Amino acid sequence: MLDPVMFTGGVYKHDLVTELIEDLGGYLLQKNVTQSEVILLMLVPHEDMPALEAMTKELKGKLERAPLAGTEIAVVTPTLAIHHLPHPACDVAEYIRRHGAKSNMIGMGRGVAREISQMDEFESALINEHDAVVFTFGNFADCILKKEHLYRTLTVPVIVTGGPEMKKEDLPYAFEYVPNVGRIAHRSRKATEIGSLDNIIAAVGRALDSVRASISKDPLTTTPPRAMEVVREQVPDVTQSLSPLPIALNLNGLRIKLPYDEYAEAVAGVEFDEGVTLGEIAKVMPSRMKNYILVRILPVSETGFVV
Amino acid sequence: MEMDPLEVFEVEMPGEGYGADKYREIIMDILQDLGLIRSIGRLYVYVNIERPYFAVFGMIRGKLPPLKVEEVGDLVAAEGGYQITVEDEEHMAGLIRALWGAYGREKVEQPDRNVLVVLSEESPGGLVVADLETEFRRDLLDALVRIAPEGFRNRRNEMAKDNFFFLAAEETITPEIIAEAKERLGGMRDA
């Protein structure tokens, strides 16, 4: 059992933390250096948490649980115009990021209005590459009801946010509805607004738990963090990628930020200690996001073994 | 007509109580961001979410006179010309542009960050730096476009001397919609 945690502290001696994680058999998911501060997102074995806590205390850092670590969440706005951005979509995305998830903002090409809004195949495929999605809608109950067709075909859990209170049964295709967000023209800073953001995090957490529960019925052949570690070792070019998170973790695979045409073979060919290659236990395909590589790990029922 | 800034501000959205409250906040935020509140006296907003359309009627508080050089900075006669000392730098760019236009670049000097010297016999005091009225109308229209829900892309705008009417709808705007919106807004004003 791995615990997702976030370490915040000084750059000085932070490599002691990364070394400790390596020694404990945990995984470093992301490292962000901002001037003199560093933020590390990690998965740590539950029983070894005291060791990391002691180290954090010694370095005078801060250790927090990051319940959404190792997941990718899409935050979808009807468009990228001033009406929807930066508030509140950026607040939602930033808040999700602070809880450890990788959040991607997606503005739909034709998501606006009640009668004419639509989503195309590319957009829904792109959203389906994530682990969960948060739709930010506006203040009119009528519009929220009529925009259901935008997310009806999605296969990932959908959290709908909007202004008014709505009944759960009115939105049968949404995993959950979070009220009191809606359209605002200022930054979320009041206690009630921050409380609504907390509600979104809780809803996303429940959505991810439901995905985890369905995966556990037919477990994956290997865990995404382990696959990430192997790719990082055997395809060293990935460390040269300029993306802040060169390998993004999903609950059922990875997104590797290298060009598909050049690196797909190398990624499929990486070998685990047990002798199998990633290509044998996972689908390696082009991602809809730029020309990245998407890896989807196959379940045990398809491969017949666990590595 | 004498009016206080935003002395009347009404939002009506039948069937969407929450939306009405929130749009009040949004409109205040946007008008504040663009510094327009002081220039608007009364504001009526009516939204019919069934049709749907978004209509605004507003009354403007008096006309803003054009901003002249003597109002932007301290104007004193100096050797061979006039010296202008500017305290508030907001209109500095407009001021330099106006002076360049009137006297030519070689006649305007800037010995210090907030000091301009114009080599001229006559005083530049009456020169217009900025047409505040035009700027206000432009900002007002920008604010209305920002305020209206984004899906409402068909827009109609009627600017008069002391009031404005703005209508945004999802479908084509017909004379019936305009008439209905005006009637509703008229009802709100009379109420």
- Inform me whether the pLDDT recorded for B1 exceeds 80: no
The CA–CA distances, whole Å, from B40 to B30, B65, B143, B149 equal 13, 16, 12, 21
pTM here is 0.86
Give the tokens for residue A279.
């290509």
User: Looking at beta carbons, which residues of chain A come within 8 Å of B149?
Assistant: 83, 138, 140, 143, 183
Mark whether A228 and A206 lie in a shared domain: no
- Any alpha helices (H) in A159-297, and if so which ranges? 191-217, 224-234, 260-268, 278-281
User: Looking at beta carbons, which residues of chain B come within 8 Å of A139?
Assistant: 16, 18-19, 22-23
Task: Inspect the interface and report whether the beta carbons of A81 and B19 lie closer than 8 Å.
Answer: no
Domain of residue A31, CATH code: 3.30.70.260
Q: What is the pLDDT of residues B105-115, one digit of tens each?
A: 999 999 899 89
Residues A255 and A130 sit within 8 Å (Cβ to Cβ): no
Percent of chain B with pLDDT over 70: 99
Residue A145, chain B, CB below 8 Å: the answer is: no
Chain B: residue nearest A87 by CA?
A: B26
- Any alpha helices (H) in chain A, and if so which ranges? 15-24, 49-58, 89-98, 121-128, 141-146, 191-217, 224-234, 260-268, 278-281, 300-303
User: Looking at beta carbons, which residues of chain A come within 8 Å of B16?
Assistant: 139-142, 164
The residue out of A39, A65, A91 marking a domain boundary is A65
Mark whether A179 and A210 lie in a shared domain: yes
Domain of residue A131, CATH code: 3.40.50.280
User: Looking at beta carbons, which residues of chain B come within 8 Å of A108?
Assistant: none
Mutation target vs B (from A139, A167, A189, A190; most B CBs, 10 A cutoff): A139
The residue out of A23, A39, A65 marking a domain boundary is A65
Amino acid at the residue B98 = A
**Identity of the residue in A82, A113, A165 whose CB atom sits nearest the CB atom of B146:** A82
Q: Supply the pLDDT for residue A82.
A: 85
Mark whether A110 and A49 lie in a shared domain: no
Half-sphere exposure of B98 (CA within 13 A, CB side): 20
Domain extent for A278: 224-303
Q: Of A232, A221, A211, whose CA–CA distance to A283 is shortest?
A: A221
Question: Tokens 């957490």 label which residue?
Answer: A205
Sequence-distant (6+) residues with CB within 8 A of B34 are B139, B142, B143
Mark whether A189 and A115 lie in a shared domain: yes
**Identity of the residue in B19, B150, B171 whose CB atom sits nearest the CB atom of A163:** B19
Mark whether A15 and A82 lie in a shared domain: no
Mutation target vs A (from B12, B18, B24, B54; most A CBs, 10 A cutoff): B18
Q: Of A119, A146, A117, whose CA–CA distance to A133 is shortest?
A: A119
The length of chain B in residues reads 191
Band of residue B140 on the pLDDT scale cut at 50, 70, 90: very high
Interior angle at CA B122, CA B121 and CA B123, nearest 5: 125
Mark whether A275 and A154 lie in a shared domain: no
Give the full edge-to-edge strand order of the sheet including A62-65.
A27-34, A37-45, A2-10, A62-65
Interior angle at CA B35, CA B100 and CA B56, nearest 5: 120
Q: What is the pLDDT of residues B61-106, one digit of tens each?
A: 887 888 888 888 899 988 888 999 998 888 888 899 999 999 999 9
Under-50 pLDDT residues of chain A: none
Q: What is the pLDDT of residues B54-71, one digit of tens each?
A: 999 999 988 788 888 888
**Identity of the residue in A81, A112, A139 whose CB atom sits nearest the CB atom of B19:** A139
Q: Supply the pLDDT for residue A3.
A: 87
Question: Tokens 């959290």 label which residue?
Answer: A159
- Inform me whether the pLDDT recorded for B156 exceeds 90: yes
The residue out of A167, A192, A216 marking a domain boundary is A216
Q: Supply the pLDDT for residue A10.
A: 93
Beta strands B73-78; A102-107: pairing state:
unpaired
Task: Inspect the interface and report whether the beta carbons of B29 and A185 lie closer than 8 Å.
Answer: yes
Mark whether A54 and A78 lie in a shared domain: no
Give A196 to chain B, closest Cα distance, Å: 15
Give A113 to chain B, closest Cα distance, Å: 4
Cis peptide before A286 (omega within 30 of 0): no
Q: Supply the pLDDT for residue A35.
A: 87
Give A145 to chain B, closest Cα distance, Å: 12
**Identity of the residue in B26, B33, B152 whose CB atom sits nearest the CB atom of A183:** B26
**Identity of the residue in A114, A164, A186 whose CB atom sits nearest the CB atom of B151:** A114
Mutation target vs A (from B11, B22, B32, B49; most A CBs, 10 A cutoff): B22
Give B90 to chain A, closest Cα distance, Å: 24
Domain total of chain A: 3
The whole-angstrom separation of Cα A166 and Cα A149 is: 17
Task: Inspect the interface and report whether the beta carbons of B18 and A138 lie closer than 8 Å.
Answer: no
ipTM (interface predicted TM)? 0.77
